Amino acid sequence: MPTLGKLVREATERLRRGSRPDQPQPDSAEPAGSPRDRARLDAERLLLHVLGPGKNKAWLMTHLEEELPVAEAARYSRLIERRSQGEPIQYITGETEFYGLPFRVTLDVLIPRPETEHLVEKVIELAAQFKNPHIVDVGTGSGAIAVALAHELARAQLQAQVTAIDLSSQALKIAEENARRNGISIRFLQGDLLAPVAGERFEIIVSNPPYVPSEDRASLSIEVRDHEPALALFAGEDGLEVYRRLIPAAFDALTPGGFVALEIGFGQSSAIATLLIGSGFEQIEFIPDLQGIPRVACARRP
């Protein structure tokens, strides 16, 4: 039977041969480094996934001479092959982390990105201004934003009522599972944008909508382009299609003094500001990510 050390070395070489140094990696939560560094990290992470709960990298580094049964080694080889073809490791393991919480992810949902945590942080700040805020997450996907918000606001002893909406029934199933997994109570509704809550009013509307221009598809990494759901990525030729519908609808659904908070794409801040002003919003603010790129747009309904 092969040893763990031998399996990791062989898998690392396989991933290095299959790596795409010309393509960016989709998960900026992973340690930075060359494709060769990433290959080793992925090989170790997938082996730990096969080994099961209770094992971590420190354990692995001290047990490299242990042997792995043939059946499990074969399973490991299949996972490495999937990764070498560009499938994101989060989809292979079915697991990721967002805002310190565990989430299940499948091909039906976008993999939560670290930069989206800036959006959660801003909404937590805004929610503190209200006694019992009603918050709706539009396009919830895996439920990452809604679950993280409900979890953190409960910790802050703020009695928030969180609703999460998605057009995809399959995405909602994953989001509901993630809420249960993290012990969170959220109202989940299926439908387009704010249609399922027509007539209701909220203190905060939050969304990380699709914002990638369709013409940018070819420039995306193979991990994103070929594996993540197009419905959650692309929004027309300029990437603004969803914002044009969501921003005026959000204005109508907010209480006076309420806020809309949106994740936005690179180079979209000027266009988003125009849309917000045109819909009647005031106090428009843009929050940059760690690279200094405007990532979150926030505005208040007067």
Adjacent-strand bridge partners of 38: none
Q: Where are the domains of the chain?
A: 4-93, 107-300
Please state, as a whole number, how many other Cβ atoms lie within 10 Å of the Cβ of residue 17: 9
**Of 90, 86, 102, nearest in space to 35 by CA:** 86
Per-residue confidence in pLDDT tens, the chain, 302 aa:
899 999 999 999 999 987 543 343 333 333 444 555 899 999 999 999 999 998 999 999 999 999 999 999 999 999 999 999 999 999 999 999 999 999 999 999 999 999 999 999 999 999 999 999 999 999 999 999 999 999 999 999 999 999 999 999 999 999 999 999 999 999 999 999 999 999 999 999 999 999 999 888 888 888 898 889 888 899 998 999 999 999 999 999 999 999 999 999 999 999 999 999 999 999 999 999 999 999 999 999 99
- CA 259 – CA 126 distance, rounded (Å): 8
**Residue 1, pLDDT score:** 87
Highest CATH level, class, for 4-93: mainly alpha
- CA 67 – CA 20 distance, rounded (Å): 31
Please indicate whether the domains covering 4-93 and 107-300 agree at the CATH topology level. no
**Of 254, 235, 161, 246, nearest in space to 207 by CA:** 246
Contact status, residue 114 vs residue 29, Cβ threshold 8 Å: yes
Contact status, residue 202 vs residue 258, Cβ threshold 8 Å: yes
Q: 167 φ, ψ to 5°?
A: -75, -30
CATH of domain 107-300: 3.40.50.150
The first and second tokens of residue 52, run together, are 């099961």
Q: Count of residues for the chain?
A: 302
